[in-house]
């Protein structure tokens, strides 16, 4: 019987101390409607996080704006008392403000970014952040000021790695003049991979690439669709095909599918066992919406 273990997807080496399994978990869904307010069943959310740990997931992605703060609280509760807690890697994001359901407003004032990092560490129960993304570049402040503040926090030992979210290659290059960028998190999936150049640049530069919305397959996953048909061929789910494509696309990709269902979590992690043929991978690569 094939085991459900995130380690089957291979690993990514962040630094000399930390190697993560390449199938992570994103906590964004553990909030209310519109990523606003508390999740309806916190105990279940904590259970999903604990089950993810049992399945070998050791990379968790969060943000202070998820809730805001609620997802962080559930993540902290789910990880509390876990064996080998020091082997769990958390990526966080700062730089977005929330005014209500589905409302996101970038705010990159350096003092605000510093405040959010400090509060996130307290909420998550950390003495430092493993990885902090600038959630969005705020056009009201220079990249030098925004990334520079994260670099200052890094110099103080409060941040280990710095990342950027939803950026272009040119923006990454501008940020690299200020600090070492170790990760990028952009919208990317089998149905929408317009950022192929960002994935390739990140790989070339030794950066991890986190595709957010990795299962946004839409009509492609419907009965009779390409993903559905291919899933039948491999005797797996369409979601597993979508994740397997990401894992095969580049070794620096770390998918972070989120779910509030233990059953869906198991299905997602089992994608680590799917080995797409080169022909099938190439066929799926033609599905881009660009």
CA–CA separation, 105 and 265 (whole Å):
30
* Residue 1 belongs to a domain: no
| CATH number of domain containing 208 | 3.20.20.100
> pLDDT of 247-289, one tens digit each?
999 999 999 999 999 999 999 999 999 999 999 999 999 886 5
Encoded tokens for 223? 């009965």
* Residue 3 belongs to a domain: no
* Residue 5 belongs to a domain: no
Is it true that the peptide bond before 278 is cis, omega within 30 degrees of 0?
no
Decide if pLDDT at 290 tops 80.
Answer: no
Domain hosting 113: range is 11-287
* Residue 193 belongs to a domain: yes
CA–CA separation, 185 and 211 (whole Å):
6
CA–CA separation, 90 and 64 (whole Å):
12
Encoded tokens for 279? 């022909």
CA 74 to chain centre: 17
The dihedral of CA 135, 34, 115, 44: what is its sign? negative
Q: What is the pTM of this model?
A: 0.95
Query: pLDDT grade, residue 161 (50/70/90)?
Result: very high
What residue has token string 């805001």? 68
* Residue 139 belongs to a domain: yes
Query: pLDDT grade, residue 1 (50/70/90)?
Result: low
* Residue 86 belongs to a domain: yes
Q: Is 200 helix (H, G, I), strand (E, B) or coil?
A: helix
Give the residue numbers marked as catalytic.
Answer: 66
pLDDT for the residue numbered 272: 97
CA–CA separation, 244 and 190 (whole Å):
10
Decide if pLDDT at 83 tops 90.
Answer: no
* Residue 263 belongs to a domain: yes
* Residue 272 belongs to a domain: yes
| Partners of 81 in the β-ladder | none
pLDDT for the residue numbered 5: 95
pLDDT for the residue numbered 185: 98
> pLDDT of 210-235, one tens digit each?
999 999 877 777 888 889 999 999 99
> pLDDT of 31-81, one tens digit each?
999 999 999 999 999 999 999 999 999 999 999 999 999 999 999 999 997
Total number of domains in the chain? 1
């Amino acid at each position: 019987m094939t085991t459900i273990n995130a380690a089957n997807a291979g690993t990514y080496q962040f630094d000399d101390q930390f190697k993560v399994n390449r199938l992570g978990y994103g906590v964004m869904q553990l909030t209310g409607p519109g990523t606003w307010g508390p999740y309806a069943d916190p105990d279940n959310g904590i259970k999903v996080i604990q089950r993810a740990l049992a399945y070998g997931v050791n990379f968790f992605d969060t943000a202070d704006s998820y809730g805001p703060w609620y997802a962080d609280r559930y993540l902290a509760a789910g990880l509390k008392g876990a064996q080998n807690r020091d082997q769990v890697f958390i990526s966080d994001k700062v730089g977005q403000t929330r005014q209500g359901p589905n409302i996101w407003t970038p705010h990159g004032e350096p003092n605000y970014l510093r405040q959010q990092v400090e509060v996130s560490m307290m909420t998550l129960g950390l003495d430092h952040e493993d990885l902090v993304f600038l959630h969005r570049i705020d056009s009201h402040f220079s990249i030098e000021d925004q990334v520079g503040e994260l670099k200052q926090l890094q110099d103080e030992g409060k941040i280990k790695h710095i990342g950027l979210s939803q950026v272009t290659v040119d923006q990454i290059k501008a940020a690299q003049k200020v600090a070492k960028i170790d990760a990028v998190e952009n919208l990317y999936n089998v149905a929408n991979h317009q950022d192929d150049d960002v994935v390739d640049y990140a790989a070339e530069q030794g950066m991890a690439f986190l595709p957010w919305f990795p299962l946004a397959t839409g009509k492609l996953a419907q009965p009779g669709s390409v993903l559905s048909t291919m899933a039948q061929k491999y005797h797996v789910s369409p979601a597993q095909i979508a994740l397997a494509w990401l894992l095969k696309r580049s070794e620096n990709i770390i998918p972070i599918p989120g779910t509030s269902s233990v059953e869906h979590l198991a299905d997602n992690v089992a994608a680590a066992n799917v080995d797409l043929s080169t022909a099938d991978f190439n066929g799926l690569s033609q599905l881009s919406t660009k």
